[in-house]
Structure 1
Amino acid sequence: MSKFAKGSAVALLALALGACSSTGSQEDAALSQKSPDALYAQARTSMELGNFSKAAKSLEALDSRFPFGPHKTQVQLDLIYAYYKMDDTPQALANIDRFLRLNPTHPDVDYVQYMRGLVNMQADSYLFHDMMNIDRTDRDPKNAMDAFKDFDRLLKVYPNSKYAADSRKRMQFLKNRLARYSIQVAEYYVKMNAWSAAAVRAQTVLESFPGTPSTERALEIMAESYDELGQEKLKQHVLLVMKENFPSNELVAN
């Protein structure tokens, strides 16, 4: 590239950055001139149109300029939802935790707790993999576990919440996902001939995630592991449980 071309590219980049900065400054200046009601009306309009990024800017301006204004609580609730729709997990969780800390007795606390579960569940999902039907249960389950705990807390503290029924369904989905993850870990230990670790991991499926489709496979791994470890009594106990619950399994069918 010639010196002239390089210089032109740098100049164009500088102009573009300057234009962005100027536009941002103009937007910030415009927001700073609006009243609380006007800012909130703008934010609501943006949310209704699905422009959650623009809505978040208006809400952030409201939150910083008028922290004790007439819309303060609703602004916090709307910010949580806007960040959730933007898939901005850190900001969503930060605002959720702030709301729960500052408004522990607010009537919408159950909704905020429910949103915490949704945010963590969203952080655990991979839309592309879901669309392509790719199983990625081997990914780090931290967000899934956090979501499970969030929904569990909602059900324990607010059992009559209107979000309780949906939370139960989501917990079952997460329970199945976490059980599959444990099975994959156990199968890895089997491949490594780490039989004790495989048995322990498979047992966690029975103890922590009972009643999931992974139960049968967990019992198979436990039976194989105990056989390799020479633990005949434990193996026979597992086979007894398997015969009671999965009589057609080839390990106990004959």
Structure 2
Amino acid sequence: MSLFRIAGLSLIVLLSACSSTEEQETSEQQLYTSIQGSLRSSQWDAAISKLHRIESEYPFGSFAEQAQLELVYAYYQSNEPDAAISAADRFIRLHPLHEKVDYAYYMRGLAAFTQSQSVIERFMPTDITQRDPGAARESFNYFKQLTDRYPDSIYAWDATQRMIYLRNVLARYELHVANYYFTRGAYVAALRRGQFVLENFPSTPAVPDALATIIQAYHLLDMNDLADENLAVLKLNYPSYPLLDDDGQLQLARNRGANQRSWINQLTFGLADRPEPPGFDTRIDGEFERDWDETTPQPN
């Protein structure tokens, strides 16, 4: 084979390779542009399908990592919080030093935050303190990871505001459980819930009610010295507490414990004529105020 023929074949192969590379880059760019169109028009299912395509067909392409972040966003917007959390976990695991990894931490917390809200709550008011707090705790921990690792992140302020809200919810949940224990005559269990609030949520508005819960539990356990000690703490720190009378005594709630249930309540196994919870719930205005932007940011 002559030198000219070899050179000619090499040139053809080189041009073919360049053409293939350009075609691949054009196809990747077109697919990514199409993804952006689907996201802008809120076509979440289409966007998710295309984002999986770009990752599988162009795993080392220019848009692969950005597509993984946008997959988290698309799953969240399509009301699939579990998938959003999974996608965020994957991004954090694969790209722990990525310049936008704080977004994955934030969206993971936001997806868990969504899980902590029922569908009913999004359309009408409900008592959020009576719901299983598992998702709320998970969301709080995710947001805390963000603020601890990336305190200067543009998402840190929003995460902090949501954490304040979640702490208030979790504290009130503990007191809701304490109130239930009072109705069952489980005074030690109610006491421990009140103490848990003081130890783990000391800066929340639920603290004075936690003190009142502790005081009542000690009173019902005939441990009046300890009840008086906690009453002194309540009066010193919260002199305007609404359930303190003019003499500085706590208005203990009416008790109908497990041994004082009506015959109707006992006959119906607790379904009818339920005892009135003797717990304390003096929520203040703004305790569950939402001080953040409800707009979900898209990764840029």
Q: Assess same fold via TM > 0.5.
A: yes
Instruction: Give 1:64's aligned residue.
Output: 56
Equivalenced residue count is 221
1:153 aligns with 2:153: no
Q: Matches of 1:67 and 1:230 in 2, distance apart?
A: 69
Please give the root-mean-square deviation of Cα atoms over the aligned residues, in Å: 1.6
The CA distance in 2 between the partners of 1:88 and 1:167, in whole Å, is 20
What is the match of residue 107 of structure 1?
99
- C-alpha displacement of 1:247: 1.3
**1:137 to partner: Cα distance:** 2.2
**Would the aligned equivalents of 1:223 and 1:238 in 2 still touch at CA under 8 Å?**
yes
The percentage of counterpart residues that share the same residue type is 39
Determine the structure 1 residue equivalent to 2:209: 217
2: distance between equivalents of 1:204 and 1:117?
Answer: 24
Equivalent-residue separation in structure 1 for 2:246 and 2:79 (angstroms):
49
Pick from 149, 155, 173 the counterpart of residue 165 of structure 2.
Answer: 173
Q: Tell me, yes or no, if the aligned pair for 1:239 and 1:251 is still in contact at 8 Å.
A: no
- Higher alpha-carbon Rg: 2
Aligned counterpart for 1:195 among listed residues 187, 190, 194: 187
Once residues 252 and 58 of structure 1 are traced to their aligned partners in structure 2, the CA distance between those partners, rounded to angstroms, is: 65
CA distance in structure 1 between the partners assigned to 2:83 and 2:160 by the alignment: 26
Task: Tell me the equivalent position of 1:183.
Answer: 175
How far is the alpha carbon of 1:127 from its aligned partner?
4.1
Task: Specify the SS of the correspondent of 1:104.
Answer: coil
CA distance in 2, matches of 1:184, 1:142: 15
Report the structure, 1 or 2, having the larger helix content. Answer: 1
In 2, are the aligned partners of 1:199 and 1:226 still within 8 Å (CA)?
yes
In structure 1, what is the Cα distance between the partners aligned to 2:105 and 2:66?
A: 15
Quick one: which of 72, 77, 83 aligns to 1:85?
Answer: 77
Whether the aligned pair in 2 keeps the contact of 1:243 and 1:252 (CA below 8 Å) is: no
The one-letter code matched in structure 2 to 1:199 is: L
Matches within 5 A, 1:41-60: 41-60=33-52
* 1:148-180 alpha-carbon deviations (Å, 9 max, x no partner): 111111111111111111111110110111111
- Please report how far the alpha carbon of residue 130 of structure 1 lies from its aligned counterpart in structure 2 after TM superposition: 3.8
Matched, 1:240 2:235: no
Distance 1:55 1:85 in 2: 11
Partner of 2:223: 231
Q: Is the 8 A contact 1:226 1:232 kept in 2?
A: yes
Could you tell me how far apart the structure 2 residues matched to 1:130 and 1:61 are? 33
Residue identity in the other structure for 2:196: T
- Choose between structure 1 and 2 for higher RCO, CA contacts under 8 A separated by at least 6 residues: 2
**Cα 1:175–1:253, aligned 2, differ >3 Å: closer, same or farther?**
farther
Please state how far the C-alpha of 1:109 moved relative to its aligned partner: 1.3
Kindly indicate whether the alpha-carbon contact (under 8 Å) linking 2:128 and 2:169 is maintained by their aligned counterparts in 1. no
Q: CA shift at 1:61, angstroms?
A: 1.3
Please tell me the residue identity of whatever aligns with 1:147: S
Contact 1:198 1:225 in 2 (8 A): yes
C-alpha contact 1:199 1:221 (8 A) present in aligned 2: yes
Unaligned runs of at least 5 residues, structure 1: 1-33
d(CA) in 1 for partners of 2:81 and 2:150? Answer: 24
Q: Which amino acid aligns with 1:49?
A: S
1:252 CA displacement = 6.2
